Amino acid sequence: MSEPSIFFSEVNERQGVFNRRAFLMGGLAGGGILALGGRLAQLQLLEFDRYRLMSTENQFNFRLIPPPRGRILDRFGVELASNRPNFRVLLVRDEINDIDATLDALSQLIPITPERRRQLLREISRSPKLVPVAVAEDLTWEEFSRVNVRTPELPGVTADMGEARVYPHGGAFAHVVGYVAKVSDRDVAAAGLNPDPLLHHPGFRIGKQGVEKALDTVLRGKSGAVKTEVDALGREVRKDPEGDIKPIAGKTVVLSLDADVQSRALEVLGENSGACVVMDVQSGDLICMASAPSFDANQFVRGLTSAEYRALSEYERRPLLDKALSGTYPPGSTFKPMTALAALDSGMVNPNETVVCSGQMWFGNRFFHCWKRGGHGSQTMHDAIKNSCDIYFYQTALKIGPDRIARVAEAFGLGQTFDIGISGQKAGLVPSTAWKRRQYKQPWYPGESLSFGIGQGALSANALQLAVMTARLANGHKALNPRLIKSIGGVETPSGAAAADLPFKPEHMDLVRSGMAAVANDTTGTAYRASQLGLGPVLMAGKTGTAQVRVISRAERASGVRSNDSLPWHLRDHALFVAFAPYDAPRYALSIIVQHGGGGAAVAAPMAREIMRVVLLKDAAIRARIESPLPMPEAPVSTTGEVEGEAPPPPSDTLLPDAAPTVSGGPTQ
């Protein structure tokens, strides 16, 4: 400093103190600035990475794009589950200051009932701050555009064009295809530590039953994202197409089912409670797997009201239960072919040996009755299957014992579950002496063999098992496995035909099959009238079954057994029928169970006939055979407009020697 201040400064105490203090203050200020610099170094140099990440998270928004869910098709490519556009309005709480005001503004544009509003407020307060909540779905295009135009004035509100699952067949496939529904807390918990962010997307629906559940991850696909630059209010400033991630659509799943057959099965079952399974006896493909009564799967996609859910869950006929897989019933007389085969296989029974049926037999300390009061008289095995004679099978079961029957039943698929790709199968039960010991610590009582021989007692099976049993019998040598899922994303799944051979002699199975043919085609067979397909040379073979669910007392038997119609629904007999066709070259096997339906011949067999007709007519080879004019003595009967239960013209088949059109009425077994 060149200025001569020193010469003129009054050097006194006050100035000395001030200069020291000013130096001190300068030092403090310098120290303060140094401290700020140090803090800057900490934030900008040491913690840079952390704050850069936070800044990027602020700046960019990755908006999830849900992938289109994979379609589910039937064997011919008919859509069983697909997607439709869904216009909806979403709301993100984090971006809204006054939810009430926003909802007020929205209700000017789209209808929001006070009840829906209360529900919404609950939903909004429950969901995480940043997760959008759907205010309204399935809007019309007009409503959607009204909201869309106004979204700039409504921060936190987005008009979103998503996709929703749709089941074009409504209830026909509700059990087997299943349905998707809103993600529950349990679904999120089940997804583990790092759940797919899709689970929190408001439009996302997760598979809850059937194929939708079993193949959920395959059908779901992989979500994409749109990278956008947003400002502090969440408004989109700029898109960054290079940062986008394309969603990968879920894979298409093709089922072995046939939509026409399935729909017809549901139609035929009508208001009844029951199940029907149709299986290809060469490939093991399941053509039909229906459970009735059904419900509209689309209701579950949008969400059921509690009243709707109560109506479904409390209905006596259990629409929510998949009766084809998880309903197990005593197979009744449909099991008699198994007993017969066990008898043949044991070598202890000569099929031509006769058993005299007098209508009842004394065993142990009581009478065992035949379904026919007067008895059948002298019966060979063929007669016994055709007439479903109980006395014959009592005697036979007693002779060969339960374990031989159980072995055959298990070889034909009873008492086990199959890997068809969806869950929910119940194995049912095939009793045996070992089972009795294990379960009850008791020996097998011979009286139990009698019930077992006619498919009652502890024995139980589901419709799928009965279809597999029939298909294996019809196939004749292979232990076919059922296949439901034909292909996933174009990749064929293993066929059910790749299976081991059945350990039984073909001639024994022929014998049993001819008995079943007689059931359907011999004019005295139990299901003759109900089994006539009216498809010319193509004939069906089958076996009726009527399974009791109550004990008939001696007094009642004496005064006359009450008819099913006079009983309350839950006490009526189960009606069953198993069938395969064409008899001479089996292609399709069918099982049908009508819970508390009444008699197998009167109720189940006519239904089976109707379903089997559709199955056969859809098979090109069989259709050609039906339509070939050569051996037809009569004009082909129209396949439509036939009244159920109407007597068809007697077929001219060599199998039936006497074509007497006498048909016995009354309940048959």
Q: How far is the CB of 92 from another protein (least distance, A)?
A: 13
Interface mask (CB under 8 A) for another protein, residues 78-107, using x and -? ----------------x-------------
Query: By CB under 8 A, which span of 37-45, 205-213, 399-407, 565-573 interacts with another protein?
Result: 37-45
Residue 239 binding another protein, by CB under 8 A: no
- Which residue lies nearer to another protein by CB, 236 or 644? 236
Site for another protein in 207-236 (CB under 8 A): 229-233
Rg (CA), the chain: 37
Q: Which residues lie closer than 8 Å to 144 by C-beta, 6 or more apart?
A: 87, 89, 159, 161
Q: How far is the CB of 157 from another protein (least distance, A)?
A: 19
Residue 655 binding another protein, by CB under 8 A: no
Rounded Cα gap, residues 516 and 334, in angstroms: 10
Among 101, 149, 190, 237, binds another protein (CB under 8 A): 237
Q: H or E stretch including 273?
A: strand 273-280
- Which residue lies nearer to another protein by CB, 16 or 270? 16
Q: Are 601 and 584 in contact (CB under 8 A)?
A: no
- Which residue lies nearer to another protein by CB, 19 or 423? 19
- Which residue lies nearer to another protein by CB, 20 or 562? 20
Residue 21 binding another protein, by CB under 8 A: yes
Q: How far is the CB of 231 from another protein (least distance, A)?
A: 4
3-state secondary structure 400-436: HCHHHHHHHHHHCCCCCCCCCCCCCCCCCECCCHHHH
Q: How far is the CB of 34 from another protein (least distance, A)?
A: 9
Residue 10 binding another protein, by CB under 8 A: yes
Query: By CB under 8 A, which span of 15-23, 113-121, 243-251, 281-289 interacts with another protein?
Result: 15-23
Query: By CB under 8 A, which span of 44-52, 372-380, 542-550, 609-617 interacts with another protein?
Result: 44-52
Give SS3 for 640: coil
Site for another protein in 241-280 (CB under 8 A): none
Tokens in use for 617? 């007519």
Give SS3 for 305: coil
Q: Are 591 and 467 in contact (CB under 8 A)?
A: yes
Evaluated on CA atoms 577, 583, 586, 588, the torsion sign reads: negative
Q: H or E stretch including 543?
A: strand 541-547
For residue 312, how many other CB atoms are within 10 A of its CB?
17
- Which residue lies nearer to another protein by CB, 16 or 636? 16
Q: Are 603 and 593 in contact (CB under 8 A)?
A: no
Give SS3 for 369: strand
Q: How far is the CB of 185 from another protein (least distance, A)?
A: 25
Which residues make beta-bridge pairs with 362?
Answer: 367
Q: How far is the CB of 27 from another protein (least distance, A)?
A: 10
Place of tokens 């909004």: 124
Q: Are 88 and 95 in contact (CB under 8 A)?
A: no
Residue 378 binding another protein, by CB under 8 A: no
**Where on the chain is the footprint of another protein (CB under 8 A)?**
2-5, 8-10, 12-15, 17-19, 21-22, 24-26, 29-30, 32-33, 36-37, 39-41, 43-45, 47-48, 50-52, 54-55, 58-59, 94, 129, 229-233, 237
